[in-house]
Amino acid sequence: MAELCQADRQVSDGVNLLISMLVRYPEIGTINFDPEANSLKLTFMISGIPTTKDFEATKRLIINSITAYNLLEGVTDMIIDVELSSYEKVAMLTIMRDVHTLSRGEIGLTIKLLRERFADRLVADHNDAILEEDLLLQEEVIEDMLENMRKQENDHHSLIGIREDGRVFVFNK
């Protein structure tokens, strides 16, 4: 019975993390949690397809910025990957990060970099009804859930969080 409760709590932590990240950061289109790699894949949508040169510059900016941020935080063994794919006139920028070294501050930095880099081309699902206090609460939940997921064993479930028409959905894969 205790194992079942722990498994439920782990699923709940993962679900809460994905929901909070999607609510707090409307620029994130989808989030995938991979329990095998213990990593999150954050996918951002960009209207229009960047040139290869522009993407490579953006990739270097993201990786260098996140690496510098983590070095300042004393984290040296992080895993990061940045990929670009496209479908018709939309580019999907995917950032893969390990859960053990990912932090709320780093997520905020990444969002800020993407906002500056792509300005009005970065697709975001803004909800004007969300109050500043709610956003701060979501940030606290994100930090707590990341911490919980760092402490747990690797028997999580694969999860995917998506945003559609102003709503957030999280599914087991």
40-75 pLDDT, tens digit per residue, is 999 999 999 989 999 999 999 999 999 999 999 999
Structure tokens at 49: 């397809």
Integer Cα distance of 38 and 158 in angstroms: 10
The predicted pLDDT at position 128 comes to 59
Question: Average of pLDDT values for 78-90?
Answer: 92
Which H or E element spans position 158?
A: none
pLDDT of 127 strictly over 80:
no
pLDDT at res. 146: 86
Residue 157 · residue 172 · CB < 8 Å: yes
The pair of three-digit structure tokens given for residue 142, joined into one six-digit string: 């994100």
Percent of the residues in the chain that have a pLDDT greater than 70, as a whole number: 87
| CA–CA dist 119, 168 (Å, integer) | 23
Mean pLDDT of 151-159: 71
Tell me, what DSSP letter sits at residue 25? Answer: -
pLDDT tens per residue, range 112-123: 999 999 988 999
For the chain, list the strands marked E by DSSP: 28-34, 39-47, 80-87, 90-98, 159-164, 167-172
Q: Are 40 and 99 in contact (CB under 8 A)?
A: yes
Cα distances (angstroms) measured from residue 84 to each of 14, 46, 67, 115, 143: 25, 10, 19, 16, 27
Give tens-digit pLDDT for 27-48: 999 999 998 888 999 999 999 9
Closest listed residue to residue 149, CA positions, set 9, 13, 53: 13
Model-level pTM?
A: 0.86
pLDDT at 139 over 90: no
Q: What is the pLDDT of residue 7?
A: 44
Tokens matching residue 169 = 């959905």
Q: What is the pLDDT of residue 4?
A: 39
Measure the CA–CA gap between 30 and 28, rounded to whole angstroms. Answer: 6
pLDDT score for 3: 44
Q: Is 97 helix (H, G, I), strand (E, B) or coil?
A: strand
